[in-house]
């Protein structure tokens, strides 16, 4: 089996987004052509296909961008430790060896947990350089008292989280209170300190794609390092049309300011074939920089298992059972 070549996991060293002063014109002038968005998104699956060793390479790159996640009410320290072990070794060593990737130290992009599990995850990942992300600010509804949401961020950072996934008050969007939304996110950014802020928009609850575009711009103006589609708890989570709108907002913000903002689709992405469409969208709309884990993350848990099955099929020509690729 020939060696599969993928882009190295690198940090491009881009400057962190400082945000912009609030300006209502930046959002009021935003419009979205719904039919054009849907037409562009629907073309991805049939127009672009990635096969054989190229598909294996793209799937390996996708693994390096996964925020391996457990956000269940029955989470335990043991489950989080198993998740961290999987983040360190996301693909069986025999498969990596056959692909010529056995010495590349492939890991997931991060591990994402509730605040109470941050210290457990930090300890389990010690020495790996895999960051711990904590969901915060009253996740998933984001409706706890504002002061408590700020303190939750500060507590997660103090516990060792280097990334904070916050949720916004969706009511600010639905009532058009853009200044309140800006002030909220800006305060959350300040509470993060050196930890990166990933702003969850909850797109399935924002009603229109125009609201998605406006909310994306406000989040970036307020200093978000990443914008993220969903909590994974909404009835509708990441979709390609929503992703296209958010990605175009990222492109517009970079053209306006020169700062690169990361993107994270989350919720409902469980099949390897689906993530290839998202990667294609990132490459075509934003370029190769956004195929790297410092600018592209995927909120997922079951996706990793399907990618590993697809890689084994590439190596052996046979599909394997799920139990051959456990999380533990």
State the catalytic residues.
165, 228, 264
- Using CA atoms, how far apart are residues 54 and 59, in angstroms rounded to an integer? 9
DSSP string, 300-318: ESHHHHHHHHHHHHHHHSS
Residue 34: other Cβ atoms inside 10 A: 12
With contact defined as beta carbons under 8 Å apart, do 231 and 267 qualify? yes
The label of the residue with tokens 């605040």 reads 115
| CA angle, residues 20, 21, 22, in degrees to nearest 5 | 110
CA angle 162, 167, 172 (to 5 degrees): 140
Residues 257-276 as b or e (16 or more Cβ within 10 Å = b):
eebbbbbbbbbbbeebebbb
Encoding tokens for residue 97? 């060896």
DSSP for 28-71? HT----HHHHHHHHHTHHHH----HHHHHHHHHHHHTTEEEE--
Residue 290 DSSP symbol: G
């Amino acid at each position: 089996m020939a060696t599969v070549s993928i882009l190295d996991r690198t940090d491009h060293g881009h400057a962190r987004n400082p945000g912009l002063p609030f300006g209502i014109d930046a959002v009021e002038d935003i419009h979205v052509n719904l039919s054009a968005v849907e037409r562009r998104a629907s073309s991805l699956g049939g127009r672009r296909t990635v096969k054989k060793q190229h598909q294996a390479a793209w799937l390996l790159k996708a693994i390096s961008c996964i925020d391996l996640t457990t956000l269940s009410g029955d989470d335990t320290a043991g489950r989080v430790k198993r998740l961290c072990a999987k983040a360190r070794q996301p693909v069986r060593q025999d498969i990596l060896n056959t692909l010529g990737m056995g010495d590349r130290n492939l890991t997931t992009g991060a591990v994402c947990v509730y605040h109470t599990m941050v210290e457990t995850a930090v300890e389990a990942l010690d020495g790996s350089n895999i960051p711990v992300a904590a969901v915060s600010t009253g996740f998933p509804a984001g409706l706890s008292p504002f002061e408590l949401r700020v303190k939750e961020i500060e507590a997660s950072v103090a516990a060792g989280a280097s990334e904070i996934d916050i949720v916004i008050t969706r009511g600010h969007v639905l009532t058009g209170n853009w200044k309140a939304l800006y002030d909220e996110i800006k305060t959350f950014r300040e509470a993060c300190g050196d930890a990166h802020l990933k702003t969850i928009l909850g797109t399935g609850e924002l009603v229109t794609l125009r609201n998605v575009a406006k909310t994306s711009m406000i989040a970036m103006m307020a200093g978000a390092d990443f914008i993220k589609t969903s909590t994974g708890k909404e009835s509708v989570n990441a979709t390609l049309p929503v992703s296209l709108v958010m990605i175009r907002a990222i492109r517009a913000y970079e053209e306006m300011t020169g700062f690169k903002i990361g993107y994270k689709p989350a919720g409902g992405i469980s099949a390897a074939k689906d993530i290839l469409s998202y990667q294609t969208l990132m490459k075509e709309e934003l370029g190769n920089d956004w195929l790297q884990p410092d600018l592209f993350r995927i909120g997922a848990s079951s996706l990793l298992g399907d990618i590993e099955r697809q890689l084994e099929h590439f190596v052996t020509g046979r599909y394997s059972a799920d139990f051959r690729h456990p999380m533990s």
